[in-house]
């Protein structure tokens, strides 16, 4: 029996991509699957996956510099055949596992060099250097691992310049039963990307102000300090509600209760391609969607007729797009139907699962 281990410093023990999709999909009689990540130090077996948590570092500094070596030390003791890592700070650890003779797989979820340029907590003068350095480390370290899994085609094409064994495993949804709508209510627009301007919260607030109380806006997920302050001083529209962090069941209920779902991103390099799990979940939930009109997103909407794309810099454009779908129930129903059908036929985890298991079979014979 082959022993495989997924490792992370930041993803939760029940993370959708790492645990629910990849770890659980790899369980079979020929494989024993482990998942080592940061947490409370507990160990358990969930869905036949051995979940081991190492006490999480409380500071960002320690997470980057110390946590990887704690994870390495715990994962090394498992003596697995292959190690599959999910975070940028784990590239040095990947090379250590490679030196020990293990099969090593990198899983790249984001365009991290581009992401660094968007982070407010990084001093402006450091961003260009850190972005370059991260790209340099990722690109060159990827030459030495046995394979690279990327979350979209853009990332996959980037790493194919440095590694001959690269596959795109997209964040398509797992088929799960959706709950029923709890009750009839005012028309509800939901965004579950968090209360951040990176997820167009400023435009959602702007659009909400243009509507009366006959429509409710709900934002779920993390929240920036700026919007925490606005909530504290009552600086948001009365028809906008912040739902906070949501567990999986609450997220699914939000999908069920929504009339329209927003999956919007600011126009930044890390958002060019479609990596969003929320986007495909929204289509699977059989709801019309509004997205930002970056070219890849616009093309998807135009091809599959499952929603509309708007300028992420314009609250007015968002307002008019919402109003159009709200006032045309037949259009909304057709968009929802189109999106649901394309997920059932093409953009679902069953398709990606087959690619993942084939990738592993080629490496871990």
User: At 215, which CATH number?
Assistant: 3.40.50.2000
The b-or-e profile of 285-324 (16+ CB within 10 A means b, else e) is bbbbbbbbbbeebeebbeebebbbbbebebbebbbebbee
Which pLDDT value is given to residue 214? 85
Structure tokens at 138: 């990722």
Are 276 and 304 contained in the same domain? yes
Residues 26, 149 within the same domain: yes
pTM for this prediction: 0.89
Residues 202 and 306 in one domain: yes
Number of structural domains in the chain = 2
- Beta-bridged to residue 308, according to DSSP, are 290
> In this predicted structure, what is the pLDDT of residue 130?
93
Query: What is the reported pLDDT for 233?
Result: 85
Q: What is the pLDDT along the chain (365 residues), one digit of tens a residue?
A: 899 999 999 999 999 999 999 999 999 999 999 999 999 999 999 999 999 999 988 777 767 778 999 999 999 999 999 999 999 999 999 999 999 999 999 999 999 998 898 887 788 888 999 999 999 999 999 999 999 999 999 999 999 999 999 999 999 999 988 898 886 678 999 999 999 988 999 999 999 999 987 899 999 999 988 899 988 888 899 999 999 999 999 999 999 999 999 999 988 877 778 778 899 999 999 999 999 999 999 999 999 999 999 999 999 999 999 999 999 999 999 999 999 999 999 999 999 999 999 999 999 76
Both 234 and 318 in one domain: the answer is yes
What is the structure's pLDDT at 258?
Answer: 96
At 365 the pLDDT is 67
Sheet holding 43-46, edge to edge: 43-46, 49-55, 31-39, 2-7, 82-85, 103-108, 147-150, 166-168
Residues in the chain: 365
Predicted pLDDT of residue 43: 95
Is residue 228, in this structure, part of any structural domain at all? yes
Residue 220 is assigned to a structural domain of this protein: yes
Same domain (yes/no): 227, 251 = yes
Q: Are residues 329 and 205 in the same domain?
A: yes
DSSP secondary structure of 4-44: EEEE-SSS-TT-IIIIIIIIHHH-BTTEEEEEEEEESS-EE
What's the pLDDT at 255? 95
Instruction: Indicate whether 199 and 152 sit together in one domain.
Output: no
Inter-residue contact 146 to 103 (CB < 8 Å): yes
> Which residue range is the domain that position 31 belongs to?
2-109+142-172+348-363
Shared domain check, 298 and 164: no
Same domain, 337 and 355: no
């Amino acid at each position: 029996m082959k022993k495989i281990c997924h490792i992370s410093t930041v993803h939760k023990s029940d993370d959708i991509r790492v645990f629910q999709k990849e770890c659980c999909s790899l369980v079979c009689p020929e494989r024993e699957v482990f998942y080592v990540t940061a947490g409370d130090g507990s160990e358990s077996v969930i869905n036949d996956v051995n979940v081991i948590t190492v006490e999480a570092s409380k500071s960002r500094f320690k997470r980057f510099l110390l946590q990887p070596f704690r994870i390495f030390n715990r994962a090394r003791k498992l003596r697995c055949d292959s190690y599959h890592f999910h975070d940028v700070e784990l590239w040095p650890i990947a090379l250590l596992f490679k030196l020990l003779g293990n099969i090593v797989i990198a899983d790249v979820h984001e365009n991290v060099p581009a992401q660094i340029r968007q982070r407010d907590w990084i001093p402006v003068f450091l961003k260009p250097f850190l972005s370059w350095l991260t790209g340099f480390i990722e690109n060159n370290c990827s030459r030495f691992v046995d394979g690279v899994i990327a979350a979209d085609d853009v990332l996959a094409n980037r790493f194919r310049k440095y590694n001959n064994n690269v596959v795109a495993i997209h964040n398509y949804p797992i088929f799960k039963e959706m709950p029923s709508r709890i009750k009839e209510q005012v028309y509800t627009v939901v965004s579950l990307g968090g209360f951040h301007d990176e997820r167009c919260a400023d435009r959602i607030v702007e659009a909400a102000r243009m509507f009366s109380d006959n429509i409710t806006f709900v934002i779920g997920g993390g929240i920036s300090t700026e919007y925490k302050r606005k909530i504290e001083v009552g600086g948001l529209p009365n028809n906008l509600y912040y739902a906070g962090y949501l567990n999986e069941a609450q997220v699914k209920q939000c999908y069920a209760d929504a009339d329209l779902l927003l999956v919007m991103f600011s126009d930044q390099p890390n958002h060019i391609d479609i990596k969003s799990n929320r986007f495909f979940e929204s289509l699977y939930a059989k709801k019309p969607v509004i997205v930002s009109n970056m070219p890849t997103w616009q093309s998807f909407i135009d091809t599959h007729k499952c929603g509309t794309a708007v300028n992420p810099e314009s609250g007015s454009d968002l307002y008019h797009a919402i109003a159009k779908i709200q006032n045309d129930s037949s259009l909304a129903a057709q968009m929802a139907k189109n999106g649901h059908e394309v997920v059932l036929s093409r953009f679902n985890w069953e398709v990606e699962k087959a690619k993942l298991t084939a990738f592993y079979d080629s490496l871990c014979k």
